[in-house]
Amino acid sequence: MKARVTVMLKTGVLDVQGEAVRFALGTLGFAGVNGVRQGKVIELDLAETDAAAAETAVKAMCEKLLANTVIESYKVDIL
């Protein structure tokens, strides 16, 4: 079973990398980009065969390692 975790900075947390991308897009001539939020996607290949158990396990992974829950939010998709 596969899982995809999307991790993004929470609203209100300054996204320095996103701002750098927004600025770079402007200098390359891509006008009209008012904001960029950058995150990360983590894909996991799991041995688990039960979707509910897999989701529970992946959420525990996010809480312990994959996301800094103080400043980041995450979304888990079981594929």
Indicate the class that CATH gives domain 2-78.
Answer: alpha beta
Q: Residue 73 has what pLDDT?
A: 98
Region 56-79: mean pLDDT is 98
Torsion angle, CA of 78/69/64/62, rounded to 10 degrees? 10
Which residue do the tokens 């600025």 mark?
23
Q: Residue 50 has what pLDDT?
A: 96
Burial (CB count within 10 angstroms: exposed 0-12, middle 13-18, buried 19+), residue 58:
buried
Domain residue ranges of the chain, discontinuous segments joined by +: 2-78
